[in-house]
Structure 1
Amino acid sequence: MRYHSHVIVSLCIGAAAAAYTALPFTASYTAGVVIGSLLPDIDEPKSYVGRRSFGMANKVKEAFGHRGMTHSLVVWGVIAAIVLFESSSSFSFGFVLGYLFHILEDFLSVQGVPLLWPLQTKRYKLPLYRTGNFVEKLLFYSSFALLVYIGNEHQLFYEWMKSLSFDR
Structure 2
Amino acid sequence: MRYHSHVMVSLCIGAAAAAYTHLPFTASYTAGVVIGSLLPDIDEPKSYVGRRSFGMANKVKEAFGHRGMTHSLVVWGAIAAIVIGESSSPFSLGFVLGYLFHILEDFLSVQGVPLLWPFQTKKYKLPLYRTGSIIEKLLFYSSFALFIYIGTEHQLFYEWVKSLSFHR
Q: Into which bin does the TM-score normalised by the smaller protein fall?
A: over 0.9
User: What do residues 81-126 of structure 1 show as CA deviations (whole Å, max 9, x unaligned)?
Assistant: 0000000100000000000000000000000000000000000000
Cα offset, 1:137, TM superposition: 0.1
Name the CA distance, whole Å, in 2 between partners of 1:167 and 1:148: 27
Cα offset, 1:152, TM superposition: 0.1
User: What do residues 38-59 of structure 1 show as CA deviations (whole Å, max 9, x unaligned)?
Assistant: 0000000000000000000000
Could you say what the CA RMSD is over the residues aligned between the two structures, in angstroms? 0.2
Residue 67 of structure 1 aligns with which residue? 67
Name the CA distance, whole Å, in 1 between partners of 2:16 and 2:88: 20
In the TM superposition, structure 1's runs of 4+ consecutive aligned residues that sit over 4 Å from their partners are: none
Name the CA distance, whole Å, in 1 between partners of 2:8 and 2:107: 16
Question: For 1:32-71, what aligned pairs fall within 5 Å after superposition?
Answer: 32-71=32-71
TM-score where L is the length of structure 2: 1.00
Residue 164 of structure 1 aligns with which residue? 164
TM-score where L is the length of structure 1: 1.00
Ranges in structure 1 where 5+ consecutive residues have no aligned partner: none
User: What do residues 29-85 of structure 1 show as CA deviations (whole Å, max 9, x unaligned)?
Assistant: 000000000000000000000000000000000000000000000000000000000
For these two proteins, the number of residue pairs brought into alignment is 168
Residue 122 of structure 1 aligns with which residue? 122
Name the CA distance, whole Å, in 1 between partners of 2:93 and 2:151: 18
Question: For 1:19-168, what aligned pairs fall within 5 Å after superposition?
Answer: 19-168=19-168
Q: Alignment identity in percent?
A: 90
